[in-house]
Amino acid sequence: MAASLILTVIGRDRPGLVSALSEKVAACGGSWLESRMARLAGEFAGIVLVDIPEESVEALAGVLHDLEATGLSVTVERSRGEPSPAGYRTLTLELIGHDRPGIVRDVTQALAQHRVNIEEFTSDITSASFSGEKLFKATARLRVSPDVLIDDLRRTLERLANEIMVDLALEEDSYRAP
């Protein structure tokens, strides 16, 4: 029987980190299924979903712990493997505006009030073309239950966008979560 594990990884970025991690997983008979990884402020961070034979879980945890000597911290958690409930919709939110403290807090509070789950979130600071001012950009993939009224959510977000002076777009994806 296979165990599904979630690995979280962080360490100073350098060539070969993913190779070292994937080598440990493969050496224990594991299969690398999904991952999200990025370099941020000179650090490497990632999350990885692996399947591994149940009898190899402890061995994998041990060899991953050994990576700490190289400056790579890895935590291992068992996946709950909970599927998305039926009927959930997927939305994409895109936002851009002059950078200021509190944008993420304000937007995520509005989403939480409507019981919207953030499945994926990316953000970045860029420079405006002509003025060079800092612009905050964010994209989020959202999971919304069938009982949430999208029009109400959209109105809340549009009101907020006006208050905090950002451009915001909310689009329903053609993909529907199972």
Judge if 74 and 151 occupy the same domain. Answer: no
Last residue of a domain, one of 33, 52, 78: 78
Residue 62 shares a structural domain with residue 130: no
- The verdict on 30 and 72 lying in the same domain is yes
Burial of 42 (0-12, 13-18, 19+ CB in 10 A): exposed
DSSP 148: S
Does 170 share its domain with 110?
yes
Same domain, 167 and 98: yes
In a domain, 83, yes or no: no
Burial of 5 (0-12, 13-18, 19+ CB in 10 A): buried
Task: Judge whether 139 lies within some domain.
Answer: yes
Q: Are residues 74 and 93 in the same domain?
A: no
- Residue 82: predicted pLDDT: 73
Domain for residue 84, yes or no? no
Q: Of 56, 78, 100, which marks where a domain is finished?
A: 78
Query: Which residues span the domain enclosing 18?
Result: 2-78
pTM of the model: 0.82
Same domain membership, residue 67 and residue 110:
no
Adjacency order of strands within the sheet including 43-53: 31-40, 43-53, 2-12, 72-78
How confident is the model at residue 178, as a pLDDT? 43
- Looking at the fold, whether 55 and 102 belong to one and the same domain comes out as no
State whether 38 and 70 are in the same domain.
yes
* pLDDT mean for each 10 residues of the chain (178 residues): 95 94 97 96 96 97 94 94 80 96 98 97 92 94 95 97 97 65
Q: Of 18, 47, 78, which one is at a domain's C-terminal end?
A: 78
Domain CATH for 36: 3.30.70.260
Q: Same structural domain for residues 104 and 151?
A: yes
Burial of 101 (0-12, 13-18, 19+ CB in 10 A): exposed
Give the number of domains in the chain.
Answer: 2
